[in-house]
Amino acid sequence: MELEEAAIKLEALGNPTRLAIYNGLVQAGDNGSTVGELREYLDIPASTFSHHIARLVNAGLLTQERESRSLICRANHSNMDSLMEFLVLNCCAEDWYIQSE
């Protein structure tokens, strides 16, 4: 993972609503959750919710799949694992800043 990609993912998670959405999907497990269930659980307006979902999808942290009339969201665990690996391996290294320029 490159520095720019990690920054995009971290920025997406840096919003309390998006972090709550991601957390809810992690708790939902592999089955995920419908957009309606998530929005109802968080009690936020549809337009605001759509904006936050789009940011997480664009950052690669969520996937969406249409099943009949429902849109199912799932946490993308492999991308989060890659982000965590990037942080541990690079950001904790003594000379990381010099290498990233």
Integer Cα distance of 42 and 21 in angstroms: 8
Q: Any idea which fold 3-100 has?
A: Arc Repressor Mutant, subunit A (1.10.10)
Q: Distance between alpha carbon 95 and the CA centroid of its chain, in Å?
A: 28
- pLDDT tens digits for range 36-63: 999 998 898 988 999 999 999 999 999 9
Give the pLDDT of residue 1: 82
pTM of the model: 0.83
Give the pLDDT of residue 59: 96
Mean pLDDT of 8-19: 95
Integer Cα distance of 46 and 95 in angstroms: 45
